[in-house]
Amino acid sequence: MTLDQIIENRKAKVLDIQGGHGVRQRLSQMGIHPGDIITILRFGALRGPILVEVHGSQVALGRGIASRIIVEEVE
């Protein structure tokens, strides 16, 4: 499943990031790589961005990006 399909307040483990150089790089700069655990905090209204927590920092991700992050739910 992809990151935008996880329910609020659940945790997910990144399995793969689909997309080119650009997407992978921007995400890895935010500390999101395959293997990392992401907590989904909140979905923005009107298909707005998703707020996640990763390695202690909060990051807002657009839905387009989130749908390219393949994850599995953990816990």
What residue ranges bind other proteins (CB under 8 A)? Answer: 21-31, 33-35, 42-49, 51, 55-65
Closer CB to other proteins, 5 or 28, in the complex: 28
Q: Which of 51, 60, 15 is closest to 33 using CA atoms? A: 15
Please, what is the minimum distance in Å from the beta carbon of residue 73 to other proteins? 21
Please, what is the minimum distance in Å from the beta carbon of residue 22 to other proteins? 6
Please, what is the minimum distance in Å from the beta carbon of residue 1 to other proteins? 19
3-state secondary structure the chain: CEHHHCCCCCEEEEEEECCCHHHHHHHHHCCCCCCCEEEEEEECCCCCCEEEEECCEEEEECHHHHCCEEEEEEC
Closer CB to other proteins, 8 or 72, in the complex: 8
